[in-house]
Structure 1
Amino acid sequence: MSDYFEEIEIGETDAFGTYEVTEEDVVSFGEQFDPQPFHVDEDAARESMFGGLVASGWHTASMTMRLLVDNFLADSRALGAVGIDDLRFPSPVRPGDALRVETEVVDKEVWDEDRGLVHCAIETSNAEGVVLTMVGLVLWERE
């Protein structure tokens, strides 16, 4: 992504990854933040609609955020997000998956004299397909 808000173009895209999902991470996150049986108990997960252990959607969002920071935001003029629109988890993430992220700038608007708001569509995928979609609403430094 470009340095300043004024340089960002609607339609601009990027792709990066990967994040390797481990069983230990799925269970640890689940135990701490979303202790439903299909996130923390392999036997119970096998009996669930998922047929096995799956990551919490919130864990999927967190892994996506890690990829975004490491590959997209850390060296940018992004100032933080004001929200997320249309967060969806169309397919589960399982231990052993490798996640990849694609982004597209879908809109932008002036926020105030110092900042602009960038609407960025984000799609996270594994080898099977899309596992997360959302639109990040990110404030960006203006020139």
Structure 2
Amino acid sequence: MNDSAAPHHRTVYAEDLRIGQTLTLGSYTVSEDEILDFATQWDPQWFHTDKKAAESGVFGGLIGSGVHTLAICQKLVVASIFDRWHVIAGKSMRDVRFLRPLRPGDTLTGELTVDNVVLDNRSRGLVTTTAQLVDSHGNRMFEVVTEAYLHCRQTP
């Protein structure tokens, strides 16, 4: 476990979050080799794995898998935010939207917005968020709504 994920660095509890709060994600640049490697293992469709064939396809070139884009989003959310949150577990992902194809050399950045926080009597809160990624030109690339359980502070 890296230092940023250590439990003593997790300082954000469910009741600390505010509806409408927006948090900045880091950035990530995807390479052609990474697109090919990911797709070969996880989504081996020709427009993700065959550069030459993809050039004559509807997208006019190699594109990354949507699942790869989702994985990049998850990596950015965990590294930028969840490492500081007292996350118990994810509950759901929904409304996953692939708005533009992922291309070699794209740099993705984004933000996460807190949509809802519902505290329950089991010392936890259900936090609903929307994550959005944009490319280096500001074009919206991806978004997803996620629900996750977070710990609440222990009360004496």
Moved over 2 A (4+): none
Separation (CA, whole Å) in 2 of partners of 1:44 and 1:83: 36
Query: How much has 1:85 moved relative to structure 2?
Result: 1.5
Across the aligned residues of Structure 1 and Structure 2, the Cα RMSD in angstroms comes to 1.5
Q: Which runs of 5+ in 2 are unaligned?
A: 1-9
Match among 108, 113, 121 for residue 104 of structure 1:
113
- Secondary structure (helix, strand or coil) at the match of 1:63 reads helix
Separation (CA, whole Å) in 2 of partners of 1:51 and 1:116: 45
Residue 22 (str. 1) matches residue 31 (str. 2) = yes
Separation (CA, whole Å) in 1 of partners of 2:120 and 2:48: 39
The AA in structure 1 aligned to 2:140 is: V
Q: Which runs of 5+ in 1 are unaligned?
A: none
Residue 135 of structure 1 is matched in structure 2 by 145
Query: How much has 1:112 moved relative to structure 2?
Result: 4.5
Separation (CA, whole Å) in 1 of partners of 2:106 and 2:132: 15
Separation (CA, whole Å) in 2 of partners of 1:101 and 1:117: 22
Separation (CA, whole Å) in 2 of partners of 1:2 and 1:125: 28
Aligned residues: 143
Are the equivalent residues in 2 in contact too, given 1:2–1:8 (CA < 8 A)? no
Residue 117 (str. 1) matches residue 122 (str. 2) = no
The AA in structure 1 aligned to 2:81 is: F
Deviates more, 1:67-76 or 1:27-36: 67-76
TM-score of the pair, normalised by structure 2: 0.87
Residue 46 (str. 1) matches residue 46 (str. 2) = no
The AA in structure 2 aligned to 1:20 is: T
Residue 60 (str. 1) matches residue 69 (str. 2) = yes
- Secondary structure (helix, strand or coil) at the match of 1:55 reads coil
Percent of pairs with identical residues: 31
The AA in structure 1 aligned to 2:91 is: V
Bigger Rg, which one: 2
Which residues of 2 match residues 65-104 of structure 1 at below 5 A? 65-104=74-113
TM-score of the pair, normalised by structure 1: 0.94
The AA in structure 1 aligned to 2:83 is: A
Separation (CA, whole Å) in 1 of partners of 2:134 and 2:11: 24
